[in-house]
Structure 1
Amino acid sequence: MAHVLYLVHDLSDPAVRRRLIMLTRGGATVGLAGFSRAKIPGEIEGIKPVNLGRTADGRFVQRTWAVLKAMARLRSVLAGLSKPDVIVARNLETLALANRANGYFGGSVPIVYECLDIHRLLIGMGPVARSMRLAERWFGRNVSAIVTSSPAFKSNYFDVLSFLKIPVMLVENKVVAAMDDGLLPAPQKREDRPWRIGWFGALRCRKSLKLLAHFSRMANGRFEIILRGRPAYSEFDDFDAFVANEPFMRFYGPYRNPEDLGAIYGEVDFAWTADCFEEGHNSKWLLPNRLYEGCLHGAVPIAVQGTETAEALRRNNIGLILSDATSFALSMAMEGLDVRRVRYLKSAVAACDRRNWAIDEADCKSLVAWLAGLAPAGPRKTSDHFPISSSFAI
């Protein structure tokens, strides 16, 4: 049985829990340590985490200081843990910890760099961006492989900008569904309610919030905007007050993934999958969780032209692709909307292969087997092939 030490940037991030489900379902035993940006439970998926300290969104200097303090006491943190077969470091800030942990265990443990977002400070040719990429190369000097969630991250960053020249593994943000979960029938719109657009997950995009609010006002009650998840309050002037002042917008707080997905997506007709948080870079390249969550549960996805998400919709011949990220473009896409058209759009989503959106037990086992088979970084043949299922294509 593979033993994975998982070092994470935010223990309270729901995506961390999803990865733990995937690893344990694949047969791994997991040691968990990381920082937190909110209160965390005593256990996550039956694993007691080691909390390395609090960090905050958007506070780069504070997070750097937290990493330095964690490095100073990492030896005592790891004292009770057995040597892992592999160390997975989620995000750049944990790579320094991964190297220190590997040294504690003798220096022979392979390290995997899990990078699911490309931070804006890493992009560009200026001195700050180059310095950040040099730091990434230094902290990644012992990394055996990179795990990322979108092919556009590989082609636009790791292949052309990053100084790390090691194999890149694609593990999309697919839903790790419950064992007995099946596709739910797409609910029909009731005549007594407006059409609903759901924006769920990490709510961090000011442009999306204002765009959806303006669109709903223009539609004068024909559409409702339903928000669920975790707002990045540092990115908004006053998220709660803004939503409270919008007549056709509602925020219902966080949700559990995957337990609540069927219920919450069953209450909406469309899923807002666009993201303009780092427009032109990370937001253009990512494939967000909400794409997979919504499509798996029958919601019609909405994306913006020129993004990797729009390309995913085009490949599957589903959803609505806006010409640009404006309320006018959204209004044009919704023009003439009726029950018959929505039924057609939903049927196209329902016809997609479930494996496009969900990870099964075989996928979990393949990922764990690949992790367990990694050799420590060093002189080796570089290959772009990994002997695992097509759900984890390079």
Structure 2
Amino acid sequence: MPNKIILKKKISRFNKKIFIPGDKSISIRWVLISSIADGVSKAKNLLMSEDVLASLEAIRKLGVRVVVKKDICKIYGVGIKGYKYKKNLVINAKNSGTLGRLISGILIDTPFPIKIIGDESLSKRDFRRVSKPLSKFGVSFKLRNKCNLPLIMSGSQKLKPIKFFEKKGSAQCKSSVILGGLKADGKTIIKAKKSRNHTELLLKYLKLPIKIKEKKNFDLIEIKKVNKIKPIIYQVPSDISSGAFFIALTVLSKNSQIIIKNVNVNSTRIGIISILRKMGVKILLFNKKIYKGEPIADIFVRSPKKIKSINCPSKLNSGAIDEFLVIFLIAAKAEGISFFKNLDELNKKESPRLKWGSKILKLMGVKIITTKNSIKIFGNPQLEINKKIVIEKYLKDHRVFMTSVIAALSFGGEWHIHDKDAVQTSFPSFLKIIDILKNEK
């Protein structure tokens, strides 16, 4: 059976209420922190994607019992010092930068060298971002080309607290140091550019010794060593990064509307909502509540009569970093010229996404001007595609695949999109939900 999808027809109008699987960022954090808690943690709606399954396999290798039955995952935590470190241990992070970077912070007290490996895409990403600050705790690292996976880390039993300035807005690097700070003597201090804050909120909910001072452009975070973490009973909210594809499909379709239920609408994650509202799209959040520190809501979106162009403020970038590919599609149908800048981080994801976003738009016949970190998109509200487009050799980046599907259903043409199993990384049920919307009568 060929591992590609062929789409030849635009989607018809739809009016649907959908449920999206659990948030990937929160799912991985729940797995890792539950593994070092004392006692049994339980989660419902845990995302069962390749990234999260890799996280469960990683903690199993460290001596943690995991039981998954129906829609409940149980993790039998071994305590902050309870990992069973063995010689020649290899942790495979597969495609997950979140797993590879965050678990590095937890493993800083390993008495034996541990090797962390990943797939082709992850092995091209920069792991100096975590090895550099974590080495200040007293950990030693060896990396391929002094930058990439595989890496070998050797921990320390005398971990000293550090001061770290995270300048790029990387939640993964910030979280890695926070988790390391749970094991280091004294007070670890982090000055971090604004980025998603799920780690901080979860530790705060658990009443661990973390202090956060929010400044205009940075957060100041203090974390102290802990001796015990209580188990976490958790209902994982839906993932806005996955919901973004259906938000975009609704915006790009005619006379359609959608409700996405029980979504995490953390202020560090809703850049796409802020950007689309500036582009004239009506998006409502209702049934709002706070769940264990995280804001949750249902999202309502209706197709706009017209889409306005945008000169996108850079301050919105970090909150939309995983959604820019579909935002570019929406800009392609806007009235006027849209400009997005300071997008360096986009090329440091599973694939060089700014390059891939540009390539998809060019294949669609959209006029663009790019630099190494910006893109200018000349919108065309009448854009229709009447040719064959092939998407392949994109490092199996799940977001490139899903963006291509949304483009095919929104603009027409004949799309041959390879490596459809890429969705297993973050959103295994993506195509099933697409089918539900396509079959709407």
Q: Same fold (TM over 0.5)?
A: no
TM-score bucket of the superposed structures, by smaller chain: 0.3 to 0.5
Q: Which has the higher helix share?
A: 1
- TM-score, normalization: structure 1? 0.35
- TM-score, normalization: structure 2? 0.32
